[in-house]
A and B are shown apart, each in its own frame.
Chain A
Amino acid sequence: MRHDHVITSKQLSRSDIETVLDRAAEIADDPAAVADRHAGALLGLLFFEPSTRTKMSFETAMKRLGGDVVDMGSVESSSVKKGETLADTVRVIEGYADALVLRHPKQGAATMASEFVDVPLLNAGDGAGHHPTQTLLDLYTIRENAGLDDLTIGIMGDLKYGRTVHSLAYALSNFDAHQHFISPESLRLPREVVYDLHQEQERAQVREHESLEEILPSLDVLYVTRIQRERFPDETEYQKVAGEYQIDAETLEAARDDLTVMHPLPRVDEIAPEVDETDHAAYFEQAHNGVPVRMALLDLLLSGEGGETDE
């Protein structure tokens, strides 16, 4: 299997993941060693919906490798506004850049775009679909804090709409990880994700819960996501569940001392600020890890080493 493009976490094997994370660890250890590694290379940023952080993270990664970026700019100011197709846009920008990063509101956009270009294409989020670079930085953070094998992880919050959650679950099924999914009934994992985890990924050990309480003491990692108020038909329904899924210092008294708490950010009120001061908090570290992980990915793809694996 050849990875010229990074579209979903499903395409990543255990060895692919380890290759990226190992490279990211080397880069984090000695960033100066790669400072000129891709001098002159250009990364095309195509963000069809705004995502300042993800965009800045890619931009930083490319510049720290000695390269630079060309940016399509906002959709409002581009020819997209005039009705140009995504297929045409990527074929044009491919001529300027050595690799492309795509964020697009439609699901499957990155898969389709990758069929039209020869340069590596990285999916930076396609609607409710996939966000594989987020998953890789999540995995990096988990590996640094708890290790990826013999792992017990709780993933809590909006599991229905959270693409980072689906993407992480697929990737974790490559490892000996016990995955516990904690959410209100109405925001459980989509049945097709559960189907995939059970049917297609033999190793996945998946359980679902409505309450954090019973499972919290056994967790190595608690991955929290935001429960989106706008997903609920009315405010009272939201109020009923919201409190149950908020973490504060008192909640964490029942947890192991070495529990790692993660969050893809931005957070609203699901993790109280007092948790930031504890040893549990890893979410800012997690966000910072985006740069070495994206540097590692870009380095592997631009050096043509993203390619052959044993499969």
Chain B
Amino acid sequence: MSDDGDHKLRVSKIRSGTVIDHVRGGQALNVLAILGIDGSEGEEISVGMNVPSDRLARKDIVKVEGRELSQDEVDVLSLIAPDATINIVRDYDVVEKHRVERPDVVEGVLSCPNAGCITTGDEPVSSRFEVFDDAVRCSYCGTIVREEIASLIDT
């Protein structure tokens, strides 16, 4: 983690919680959105954007105090932050490290961009997308989205 050295000064260390590192530059707020974290429950959140990185030229980093993310939550991040690393911190020590893995399916996370899709109406159904290597596809209407997946995040 040599590339962590500099920005530690800018983004404070957390005591217990989750550090999401190596997020693609500019995606930090989408990371929070996809996780449904908006600070309204009093979570202490630190965000570093476009900090220098060895691995990605510029990266974002998100620290969430007092909350440990589950593997399912982490995997959803793969849609917008495929290179992310997740560190679970307890008492200032990293106790677990995860990488995101692309799930086969994500439910209730993205909303379908097709206005003609049944999931965009008032039906009691949550969205469901199959996840491919380079795209996602609505399980109901079949619409494929390659770019701009972040814009589908259901907030």
Contact = CB atoms under 8 A, between A and B. Distances in A.
Partners in one complex: yes
Interface of A: 83, 85-87, 104-109, 111-112, 115, 126-129, 192, 195
Nearest to B122: A85
A108 B118 CA distance: 6
A109 B141 CA distance: 8
Given A107-B116, A109-B118, A128-B116, A85 B142 contact: no
B139 interface: yes
B124 A111 contact: no
Given A111-B139, A128-B116, A106 B121 contact: yes
Given A127-B116, A128-B116, A108 B122 contact: no
A85 B144 contact: no
Interface of B: 114, 116-119, 121-125, 137-144
Contacts, number: 55
Contacts of B139: 108, 111
Given A87-B123, A129-B141, 7 more contacts: A85-B123, A85-B124, A87-B125, A108-B140, A111-B118, A127-B116, A192-B144
B116 A112 contact: no
Contacts of B141: 106-108, 127, 129
A126 B117 CA distance: 9
A195 B133 CA distance: 14
A126 B142 CA distance: 12
A203 B122 CA distance: 39
Given A87-B123, A87-B124, A87-B125, A106 B118 contact: yes
A107 B140 CA distance: 7
Rank and list the top 9 A-B pairs by shortest CB-CB distance, nearest first: A108-B140, A107-B141, A108-B141, A108-B118, A106-B118, A109-B118, A192-B144, A112-B118, A107-B116
